[in-house]
Amino acid sequence: MTSKSAKQAKKDTTAKGDAAHGEVSMSALTSLLEEHRAALSAEFKTALTSLEAKLDLVQTAVSDHGPRIVSLESNADLLSERIHSLETVCAQLSENYDKLKAKTADLEGRSRRNNIRIIGLPESVEGPRPTVFFSEMLSEIMGNQILPSPPELDRAHRALVAKPKQGGKPRAVILCFHRYQIKETVIREARKRRGT
């Protein structure tokens, strides 16, 4: 690339020579145009060389990113498939959970069908074997006509609350009968005797 001062000096020299001759010759104009063409060509070549170098850098960067983008796309596809399968499994587990929750509630309700509560008995009256005590107590209270033998109890315990202080209201007793029909007989008879 030629400097501006060198170009200016050439113009001045040419102008002086032309002024001496009084007219510009065709050969002078042609040589001046050739010089300008050569200077412009050199400037374009250097600019193009610089652009080509920059484009090469961009092209290598893009070609480097190509495999990475392909890898990211394949990983995204794999993750999408895994998320879809996990959503399916989660939906199935949620459905199973709802079924099991309903089944548990039903089983808890069914297990309580054979239960009765006795309220107002003093604390620790049952002794160390509450099932035997309450079975014999029910047989005595109901009489031989209603319960010819002591009823079979699966469980007998106090309500699961804190033991009351001395003189406080006693906890309820919960009895679980082995047979539903016996439990119904006891409840029917207790309702008949409610006011007595």
Above 50 in pLDDT, residue 27?
Answer: yes
Q: How confident is the model at residue 108 (pLDDT cuts 50, 70, 90)?
A: confident
d(CA 147, CA 185): 9
Q: Quick one: tokens of 103?
A: 């089944």
Helix (H) or strand (E) holding 95: helix 26-112
1 has a pLDDT exceeding 60: no
Angle between helix 26-112 and helix 4-21 axes, rounded to 10 deg: 150
Q: Is the pLDDT of residue 79 over 90?
A: yes
Amino acid at 48: L
Tokens encoding 114: 């054979």
Alpha-carbon span 125 to 171, nearest angstrom? 12
Query: pLDDT digits over 113-165, tens only?
Result: 888 888 888 888 888 899 999 999 998 888 888 888 899 998 898 988 888 88
45-72: per-residue pLDDT in tens? 999 999 999 998 888 888 888 888 889 9
pLDDT above 50: residue 3: yes
Does residue 191 carry a pLDDT above 50? yes
Q: How confident is the model at residue 39 (pLDDT cuts 50, 70, 90)?
A: very high
- pLDDT of 11 reads 62
pLDDT on residue 9:
59
Q: For residues 45, 46, 51 and 52, what is the CA-based torsion angle, rounded to 10 degrees?
A: 60
| pLDDT recorded at residue 23 | 65
> Where is pLDDT greater, at 78 or 4?
78
Q: What's the whole-model pTM score? A: 0.49
pLDDT reading at 84 higher than 60 = yes
Helix (H, G, I), strand (E, B) or coil at 113: coil
pLDDT score, position 112? 80
